[in-house]
Amino acid sequence: MKKTILVLMGGISEEKEISILSGRACVRALRKKKYKVKILDPKGNFINEIRKIKPKIVFNALHGRFGEDGYIQSILEAEKIKYTHSGVLASSIAIDKLVSRKIFIDKKINTPKFFTYNYNDSLNIHALIKKLKINFPVVIKPINEGSSIGVYICTKKNLNKNLKKLRKYNKILVEKYIPGREIQVAVMDNKALGAIELKPKRKFYDYFAKYSSKAKTKHIMPAPLESKKYKEVLEIARKAHLSLGCKGITRSDFRYHNNKFFLLEINTQPGMTNLSLVPEIAAYRGIKFENLVEWMVKDAGYDR
């Protein structure tokens, strides 16, 4: 008799719609594999709901803050319930672009030049950009959001206008814009599965390009890189995964420019929608979607 799986989806982050899409796809896959599945949208007094269900395993299909930042993981640890994906510490580090970047630099993983900007400081952002010799265009983004939410590529002319859009975050990341190719790598069970190249019709692989078929983003699997460079990006992604202490499956996002890979971030709970990249990479490696989801359930644990 297979265990009952509780799938957490929805939540309260700005990525809740994507979480629902991921969650529904995973529910269908688990039911195909004959698991009994229960679904919970964790908001309000959801801990009591979890206690009523008494699951042995939680499939965490949440995205964004409160879902992949260590928050829900801490609760599941306290309840002694096994869960999918990375643990408390790795999740909280990976979603924090400042902390994770510092670790990447320490591990000699190439990442764009950056600094943090605090809206409460009196420092002039234009002066900081000039002082650090970052030059325009620059990218501004929240420190702890996913799915390219709040990401803006800014010129000197429109920087102040875009800064106002992120005012609610208080502190943001400002980084050198890296032109070039979009390469993303999936890591599963501490091994790199493969790399895919994306060719968005838009300026970059933003929220719309990620989740709308209307965006017509071209996916090229495997990424058409020289054999040596393909192996190199796989190894960088695996190194990043291990350096943050990640578990299960992650996806690392790169820009490839002037023969160098720049790691932008690592996602501890990558999307599982019909346009998502990890399932596409896994399928190329001969792993069916329902087998991928079942592997994640079997890999679930606590004290991750």
Which residues form the catalytic set? 15, 147, 211, 251, 253, 265, 267, 271
Nearest to 147 by CA among 258, 239, 22: 22
Nearest to 37 by CA among 86, 2, 62, 82: 2
Element (H, E) at 45: none
For the record, the structure tokens of 289 come out as 């979607």
| 3-class secondary structure, 207 | helix
Question: 211 vs 30, 85, 215, 216, 277, CA distance in Å?
Answer: 22, 21, 8, 10, 11
Element (H, E) at 56: none
Nearest to 126 by CA among 97, 98, 152, 157: 157
- In sequence order, the 6+-apart residues with CB closer than 8 A to the CB of 203 are 153
Nearest to 211 by CA among 50, 67, 18, 6: 18
Please list the residues that pair with 138 across neighbouring strands.
Answer: 154, 176
Inter-helix orientation angle 88-95/97-106, to 10°: 100
